[in-house]
């Protein structure tokens, strides 16, 4: 199965499970979790099922295209099931089987791995999934997001899609993965890995990025105050990415680090709060059971 | 009549690190709840795998024990009038308790008589009580981290997916959130995914075994270790014996099959600690060694399942390890391109503590301290100590330690050796972290000993100076462990140094940070903190409380001296002269304990016995003092015990507390002087007979 078929295979599988298939969000982000289809949607009482491919950027992981296992830009296949269904692990294993990985022939383990994003004020408990000793998926039950408790709890499944492709195609390097017949992952991404590694580590202008960070922080705050959570969230994402770039550039000292993270976390909390208020004002349209909806709205009125 | 009971909590994969403790708690809580509910049993056992927590109670009584309930009512005086007729209060109380007035009993509480309603509560049937008790047990289990799932509010380590409860062969109804108990269980996740009907408790254990689940953790662990050893033997090697790893592996699977894998010999260029850490920490493999204890380019993994397509599993694991080791080799090559000293300036970028500056600042203080401690103890040389202190944190800037933090010190030593540093300096880099845990080895080289002490003293003094010290279970900077390290190093190696002076010196290095607490308070607090650790260690070594309390505060900051005195005292307490010594001390001490002055106006002494006693004292004093100076403590104690006869005669012949104040003062002065001389070794008022 080539890379493209794998993505389509997963989309089809999760589509059949009732997920809407969204497309990647059009901004830089470190992980699929930061897509508003996860970060915002996992807040509040409304159910939500979604799957999408997310291009993800980790500037510090750049290796100038020389490391067979590490990239500063890669893909995640992300699934959110809210509330988490009882058979969520079985569903996940079924999706592997669909990719041609038969669990009986391998050694599949769920090894404790808890996820935390200090910048998003988010954490959850779960596992990394091992396939014959290789981590292929991160599996998390969200407990908090934007510093708010998640209720109901979402299950997040994040496939390390390149890793799985290497396994299925029996390749020793990500770059050798076959995207489609005759076109490799290297053909699509190698040169940009080299270029971005130069940019991230040596070229990015620290003064410019610092100014941009400050401007974006300001804008996020201003827009959030106008009760426009999603546009405000865009600037939180920008802040997060700019922070990562500054970090890769070695421009953030240890003492400053905590400060930066705290600033982004505060923004994320502000936006989360605005989003929660907005959904309530809208009357939780995704809750189809009218009685439940009214009950929730009433309860929140009482709590005030 | 009794029957066996079984509860299986089916869960999604539990964190392996929680399991040992959780199974213990499960057992303790069950025993406790059954006792509260007055239900007897023969034994409680808990078993578990990643997917199930199992409670197995043998001989659980079918009926709860009866109980007597005693409820206190009004005072007797207000319950009955003088004729003995009940008042309204008594009748109301009896009615409220549901008994006849004539059945009320009178009992005395703290000298006052009250009416009591004594009722016998007949024990209920265990079967009816079980579901309530089980829910209580499940809700009482706590974990280091717990979570919610779906629409539910229950917290557990991981979601609960099924419940099986059997009392004898009868299913007990129980509900946790949306999970209803039944008499079905699940086998191995992949090898036997269909639900399995369980008709009896014995049947449960057979069914699990038939469906690829070894539910008993002890049995599973034994199986794994046996398999690992067999595979190792076949491969001509010896597997690493690592209890933590074995425990972890046993809680990561339900049905073990060990397999052999290899990696390229080219990775053996990397230090073995790196390879084993990667194998253990990342992959949970057992490393293999040859007869000469050299690492082999091989590993043993344990799969959750049978040997079906083990070839695929082996190949997959080999490939993963190769990628890991490739990274390690890359880090090793990168790190050894430049000498270790070049990593030192980067420590400026590593925060030690926001109020104590960077690690580079700390290294500056440590260099001065190491040289000072070395000179005070006459160990190593200033050049070696300064160099070792300068380099000892540099590896924190290496790629390898960034990836494997537990290799700090170990890598520093390798990098120092690669860069041609003096080998004792290199060893000291590793040794300055020792001891890392209770029972860990101590630094061996002189430079390592000094650097380890200096490091711990610098850390402790710095945190105490800014007002951070451990409280309760909060000890984020591991200050207790470091204080224990100081004590162990000093007493085990018999170092002679005054800790108070060393702490004071460490404090001087902090002056430019203008710490909150002054030098005197810092020294006193920290000395006391270290002495408390010293006390714990002495107890662990079998010294009794009274011996410890007797000597702990009598030797200033010299821990070896405290230890020496404790040993002398312990032995002397078993010697034949101990009784005499005690008489001398106690008779002197009892009367004079509130007396301040040891001055004696000899011209006032009347009786021959008091003159003789004082004379004896004056004679002994210089001899005792010389013996003490020469640390012939036992001899000194024996001399003092020799005053027994004189003391006895003194008390027989004279009365101390006479009306003549001056004479009384002289006699008390003699006793006080004797106490003072006895206490050269310890505070004997704290020592038990």
Q: Which fold has domain B340-541?
A: Hypothetical protein af1432 (1.10.3210)
Residues of B with CB below 8 A from A253's CB? 349, 351
pTM for the model stands at 0.84
Residues of A with CB below 8 A from B256's CB? none
- Output the six-digit token pair for B273: 């600690």
- Residues B677 and B675: their CA atoms lie apart, in Å, by 5
pLDDT at A303 over 80: no
Residues of B with CB below 8 A from A252's CB? none
- Interchain contact, A84 vs B178, CB within 8 Å: no
Q: State the best of B148, B194, B327 to mutate against chain A, taking most chain A CBs within 10 Å.
A: B148
- Interchain contact, A141 vs B147, CB within 8 Å: yes
Measured between CA atoms, the residue of chain A closest to residue B18 is A112
Residue B358, beta-bridge partner list = B351
Question: How close, in Å, is residue A85 to chain B by CA atoms?
Answer: 6
pLDDT digits (tens, 9 = 90+) for A192-212: 999 999 999 999 999 999 999
Cis peptide before B112 (omega within 30 of 0): no
Residues of B with CB below 8 A from A91's CB? none
By Cβ distance, the residue of A67, A112, A255 closest to B354 is A255
Q: What local confidence, expressed as pLDDT, does residue B416 receive?
A: 97
By Cβ distance, the residue of B148, B190, B349 closest to A104 is B190
Query: Long-range contacts made by residues B609-615, C-beta under 8 angstroms, separation at least 24?
Result: B609/B646, B609/B649, B609/B650, B609/B652, B609/B653, B609/B654, B610/B650, B610/B653, B610/B654, B610/B667, B610/B670, B612/B646, B612/B649, B612/B650, B613/B643, B613/B646, B613/B647, B613/B649, B613/B650, B613/B670, B614/B670, B614/B673
Output the CA–CA distances (angstroms, integers) from residue B662 to B364, B589, B602, in the order listed: 62, 19, 11
Nearest partner of B496 among B356, B376, B648, judged by Cα? B376
Q: How far apart are the first and last CA of chain B?
A: 53
Share of chain A above pLDDT 90, in %: 89
Contact between B36 and B64 under an 8 Å Cβ cutoff? The reply is: no
- Interchain contact, A131 vs B158, CB within 8 Å: no
Q: What local confidence, expressed as pLDDT, does residue B349 receive?
A: 82
- Output the six-digit token pair for A284: 């939780």
Residue A43: which pLDDT band, with cuts at 50, 70 and 90? very high
- Interchain contact, B16 vs A143, CB within 8 Å: no
Query: Does B308 contact A at CB distance below 8 Å?
Result: yes
Burial of A151 (0-12, 13-18, 19+ CB in 10 A): middle
Residues of B with CB below 8 A from A143's CB? 147-148
Handedness of CA B36, B39, B40, B46 (dihedral sign): negative
Q: Which fold has domain B2-64+125-210?
A: Alpha-Beta Plaits (3.30.70)
By Cβ distance, the residue of A103, A152, A155 closest to B190 is A103
Question: How close, in Å, is residue A186 to chain B by CA atoms?
Answer: 19
pLDDT digits (tens, 9 = 90+) for B47-60: 999 999 999 999 99
- Residues A300 and A287: their CA atoms lie apart, in Å, by 15
Number of H helices, E strands in chain A: 9, 11
- Residues A69 and A32: their CA atoms lie apart, in Å, by 19
Residues of B with CB below 8 A from A61's CB? none
- Interchain contact, B319 vs A253, CB within 8 Å: no
Query: Does B443 contact A at CB distance below 8 Å?
Result: no
Q: State the best of B190, B263, B311, B348 to mutate against chain A, taking most chain A CBs within 10 Å.
A: B190
CATH among 1.10.3470, 1.10.10, 3.40.50, 1.10.730 for B564-686:
1.10.730
Contact between A49 and A18 under an 8 Å Cβ cutoff? The reply is: yes
- Which of B:152-211 have CB within 8 Å of A? 158-159, 161, 178, 189-191
Nearest partner of B177 among B198, B197, B148, judged by Cα? B148
Please state whether beta strands B179-182 and B160-167 pair in parallel, antiparallel, or not at all (unpaired): parallel
* DSSP labels, B12-67: S---HHHHHHHHHHHHHHHHHHHHHTT---SEEEEEEETTEEEEEEEEEESBPPPE
Residues of A with CB below 8 A from B354's CB? 255
Structure-token match 């499960």, residue found: B26
pLDDT digits (tens, 9 = 90+) for A264-294: 999 999 999 999 999 999 999 999 999 989 9
Residue A231: which pLDDT band, with cuts at 50, 70 and 90? very high
Q: How far apart are the first and last CA of chain A?
A: 54
Question: How close, in Å, is residue A142 to chain B by CA atoms?
Answer: 8
Low-confidence ranges of chain B (pLDDT < 70): none
Residues of A with CB below 8 A from B304's CB? 107-109
Query: Does B212 contact A at CB distance below 8 Å?
Result: no
Residues of A with CB below 8 A from B17's CB? 112
- Interchain contact, B350 vs A254, CB within 8 Å: yes
By Cβ distance, the residue of A104, A133, A254 closest to B301 is A133
- Interchain contact, B312 vs A105, CB within 8 Å: yes
Residues of B with CB below 8 A from A133's CB? 283, 301, 316-317, 320-321
pLDDT at A304 over 70: no
- Residues B431 and B370: their CA atoms lie apart, in Å, by 13
Handedness of CA A259, A260, A261, A264 (dihedral sign): positive
Q: How many residues does chain A have?
A: 304
Residues of B with CB below 8 A from A255's CB? 351, 354
- Interchain contact, B320 vs A132, CB within 8 Å: yes
């Amino acid at each position: 199965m080539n890379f493209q078929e794998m993505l389509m295979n997963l989309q089809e599988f999760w589509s059949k499970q009732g997920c809407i298939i969204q497309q990647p969000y059009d901004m830089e982000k470190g992980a699929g979790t930061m897509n508003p289809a996860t970060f915002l949607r996992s807040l509040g009482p409304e159910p939500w099922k979604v799957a999408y491919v997310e291009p993800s950027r980790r500037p510090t992981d750049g290796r100038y295209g020389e490391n067979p296992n590490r990239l500063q830009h890669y893909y995640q296949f992300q699934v959110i099931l809210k509330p988490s269904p009882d058979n969520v692990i079985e569903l996940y294993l079924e999706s592997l089987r669909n990719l041609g990985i038969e669990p009986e022939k391998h050694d599949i383990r769920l090894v404790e791995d808890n996820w935390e994003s200090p910048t998003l004020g988010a954490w959850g408990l779960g596992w990394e999934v091992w396939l014959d000793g290789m981590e292929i998926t991160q599996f998390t039950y969200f407990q908090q997001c934007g510093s708010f408790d998640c209720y109901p709890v979402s299950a997040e499944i994040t496939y390390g899609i390149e890793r799985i492709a290497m396994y299925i195609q029996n390749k020793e390097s990500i770059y050798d993965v076959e995207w489609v017949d005759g076109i490799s992952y290297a053909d699509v991404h190698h040169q940009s890995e080299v270029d971005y590694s130069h940019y991230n580590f040596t070229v990015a202008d620290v003064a410019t990025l610092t100014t941009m960070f400050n401007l974006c922080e300001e804008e996020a705050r201003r827009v959030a105050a106008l009760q426009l959570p999603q546009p405000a969230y865009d600037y939180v994402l920008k802040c997060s990415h700019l922070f990562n770039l500054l970090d890769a550039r070695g421009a953030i000292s240890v003492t400053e680090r905590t400060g930066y993270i705290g600033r982004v976390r505060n923004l994320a909390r502000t936006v989360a709060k605005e989003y929660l208020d907005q959904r309530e004002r809208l009357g939780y349209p995704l809750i189809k059971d009218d009685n439940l909806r009214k009950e929730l709205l009433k309860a929140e009125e009482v709590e005030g | 009549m009794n029957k066996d009971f079984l509860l299986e909590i089916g869960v999604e994969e539990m964190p392996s690190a929680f399991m040992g403790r959780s199974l213990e708690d499960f057992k303790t809580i069950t025993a406790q709840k059954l006792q509260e509910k007055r239900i007897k049993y023969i034994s409680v056992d808990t078993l578990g795998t990643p997917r199930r927590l199992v409670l197995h109670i043998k001989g659980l009584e079918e009926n709860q024990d009866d109980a007597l309930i005693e409820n206190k009512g009004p005072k007797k005086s207000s319950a009955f009038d003088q004729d003995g007729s009940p008042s309204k209060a008594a009748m109301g109380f009896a009615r409220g308790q549901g008994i006849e007035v004539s059945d009320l009993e009178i009992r005395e509480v703290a000298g006052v008589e009250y009416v009591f309603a004594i009722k016998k509560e007949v024990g209920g049937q265990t079967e009816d009580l079980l579901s309530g008790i089980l829910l209580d047990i499940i809700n009482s289990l706590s974990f280091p981290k717990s979570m919610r799932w779906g629409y539910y509010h229950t917290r557990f380590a991981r979601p609960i997916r099924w419940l099986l409860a059997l009392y004898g062969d009868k299913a007990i109804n129980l509900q946790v959130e949306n999970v209803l108990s039944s008499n079905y269980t699940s086998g191995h996740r992949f090898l036997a995914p269909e639900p399995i009907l369980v008709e009896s408790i014995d049947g449960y254990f057979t069914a699990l075994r038939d469906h690829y689940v070894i539910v008993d953790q002890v049995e599973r662990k034994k199986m794994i270790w046996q398999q690992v050893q067999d595979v190792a033997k076949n491969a001509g090697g010896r597997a690493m014996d690592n209890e933590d790893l074995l425990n972890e592996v046993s809680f990561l699977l339900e049905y073990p099959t060990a397999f052999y894998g290899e990696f390229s010999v080219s990775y053996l260029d990397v230090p073995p600690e790196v390879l084993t850490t990667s194998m253990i920490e990342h992959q949970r493999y057992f490393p293999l060694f040859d007869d000469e204890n050299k690492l082999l380019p091989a590993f043993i993994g344990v799969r959750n399942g049978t040997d079906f397509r083990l070839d695929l599993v082996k190949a997959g694991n080999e490939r993963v390890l190769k990628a890991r080791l490739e990274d390690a080799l890359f880090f090793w090559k990168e790190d050894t391109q430049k000498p270790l000293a070049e990593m030192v300036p980067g420590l400026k970028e590593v925060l030690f503590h926001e109020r104590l500056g960077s690690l580079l600042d700390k290294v500056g203080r440590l260099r001065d301290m190491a040289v000072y401690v070395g000179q005070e103890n006459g160990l190593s040389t200033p050049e070696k100590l300064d160099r070792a202190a300068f380099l000892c944190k540099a590896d924190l800037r290496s790629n390898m330690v960034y990836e494997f933090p537990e290799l700090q010190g170990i890598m520093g030593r390798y990098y120092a050796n690669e860069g041609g540093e003096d080998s004792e300096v290199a060893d000291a880099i590793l040794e300055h972290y020792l001891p890392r845990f209770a029972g860990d080895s101590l630094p061996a080289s002189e430079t390592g000993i000094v650097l380890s002490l200096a490091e711990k003293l610098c850390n402790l003094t710095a945190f105490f100076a800014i007002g951070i010290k451990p409280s309760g279970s909060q000890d984020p900077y591991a200050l207790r462990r470091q204080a224990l390290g100081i004590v162990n190093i000093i007493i085990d190696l018999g170092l002679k140094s005054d800790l108070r002076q060393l702490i004071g010196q460490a404090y001087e290095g902090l002056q430019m940070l203008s710490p909150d607490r002054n030098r005197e308070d810092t020294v006193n607090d920290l000395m006391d903190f270290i002495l408390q650790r010293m006390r714990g260690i002495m107890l662990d070594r079998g010294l009794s409380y009274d011996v410890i309390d007797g000597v702990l505060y009598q030797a200033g900051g010299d821990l070896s001296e405290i230890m020496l005195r404790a040993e002398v005292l312990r032995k002397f307490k078993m010697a034949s002269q101990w009784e005499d010594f005690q008489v001398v001390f106690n008779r002197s001490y009892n009367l004079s304990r509130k007396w301040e002055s040891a001055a004696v106006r000899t011209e006032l002494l009347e009786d021959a016995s008091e003159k003789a006693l004082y004379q004896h004292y004056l004679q002994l004093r210089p001899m005792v003092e010389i013996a003490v100076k020469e640390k012939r403590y036992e001899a000194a104690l024996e001399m003092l015990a020799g005053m027994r006869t004189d003391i006895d005669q003194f008390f027989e012949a004279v009365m101390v507390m006479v009306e003549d104040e001056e004479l009384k003062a002289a006699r008390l002065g003699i006793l006080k002087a004797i106490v003072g001389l006895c206490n050269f070794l310890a505070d004997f008022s704290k020592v038990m007979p």
